[in-house]
Amino acid sequence: MLIDSHCHVQFNAYKNDAEEVIRRSLEREVKMIVVGSQASTSERAVEYAKKCDGLWAVIGLHPVHLTSQEVDEEEINFHSREEKFNYNFYKNLATDEKVVGIGEAGLDFFHLPKNLTLAEVIKIQTEAFEAQAELATELNLPIAIHCRDAHQALLPILQKFCKNGRLQNRGVAHCFTGNWFEAKGYLDLGFYIGFTGVITFPAKKTNPQQQLNLIEVVKNTPLDMILVETDSPYLAPQEHRGKRCEPWMVIEVAKKIAEIKNVPFEEVAEQTVKNTLNLFSKIKIS
């Protein structure tokens, strides 16, 4: 068994066949944490989780949805609407027993809207992130962190939050693609590191060092601090590159970790499931 700790099977990419996609993954013994990115997809994540055994929801507001802009991700383009973080809406949604965490929340300085200055974007994103860290603290839930080109800004916020027993359940740096120095910043605070299909990609000719750095992070991160995920529908592993990603493909991510760490696949599967259950402690597997 594996748990895809971060996927979006409630997104429009699956609007015609979500049920089949979920079934295909469950048949391969892959359970799923369905992560919201805004109000509508958070609600839908809870709806799916309630309907289905082996699915749980994480709810929150992704930084790219705080401003209006074009987003282009691996052949999937969308226009994000401007949404404000409504604390009580998410707090209310989180009362459902199948909601196991808050997120994805964080900072994204890669996708920048054209009509705002960087300082304005930082302010908007920081406020929404802090509000979600506050909610996670209040509800005693872990937080799923999205961070792109912004670790230096995000880590000090987490450090501030983790003081005095706050944000006690910590969280996960989801879809980690940074270097070891950045990864250590999260690990030192007790955060897990989430790896996606990106670890299976070949090095880019234009910047081979980036992939070498990421492999070094996989090597150095203790297996008991690693979560596996797909971030479906994005980032299909190399085996399936170019296709729509589905949660069962998380098998490729676990295989790659086993290869890099030179341990059996079963050990990676067993330990990452254990880690996921440790972090998202509201998950009950019957």
The least CB distance from residue 73 to Zn ion, in Å, is 10
Question: In this complex, which beta carbon is closest to Zn ion, that of residue 98 or of residue 146?
Answer: 146
Copy the structure tokens of residue 60.
Answer: 């929150």
Smallest distance, Zn ion to C-beta of residue 54, A: 19
Residue nearest to Zn ion (CB): 231
> One symbol per residue from 192 to 211: x for binding Zn ion (CB under 5 A), - otherwise; what is it?
--------------------
Gap between the Cα atoms of 66 and 80, Å rounded: 8
Q: Residue 108 CB, nearest distance to Zn ion (Å)? A: 11
- Which range binds Zn ion by CB under 5 A, 72-80, 182-190, 195-203, 231-239? 231-239
Task: Identify the DSSP state of 223.
Answer: G
Indicate whether 252 belongs to the interface with Zn ion (CB under 5 A).
no
Identify the helix (H) or strand (E) that includes residue 271.
helix 265-279
User: What does each C-alpha distance from 255 to 21, 44, 93, 266, 272 come to in angstroms?
Assistant: 21, 30, 35, 9, 12
Interacting span for Zn ion (CB under 5 A) from 38-46, 150-158, 193-201, 227-235: 227-235
Determine the Cα–Cα distance for residues 171 and 192; give it in Å rounded to an integer: 6
What's the min distance (Å) between Cβ of 104 and Zn ion? 5
Distance CA 150, CA 64 (A): 13
Using CA atoms, how far apart are residues 228 and 244, in angstroms rounded to an integer?
18
Query: Which neighbouring-strand residues pair with 144?
Result: 103, 172
Q: List 239's β-bridge partners, or say none.
A: none
- DSSP letter for 10, please: T
**Which residue, 7 or 212, has its beta carbon nearer to Zn ion?**
7
Q: Which of 231, 247, 252, 257 binds Zn ion (CB under 5 A)?
A: 231
Least separation in angstroms between CB 146 and Zn ion: 6
Number of residues counted as binding Zn ion (CB under 5 A): 1
The residue (of 108 and 231) whose beta carbon lies closer to Zn ion is 231
Nearer to Zn ion, 27 or 252 (CB): 252
21 contacts: CB under 8 Å, gap ≥ 6: 9, 14, 246, 247
Interface residues with Zn ion (CB under 5 A)?
231
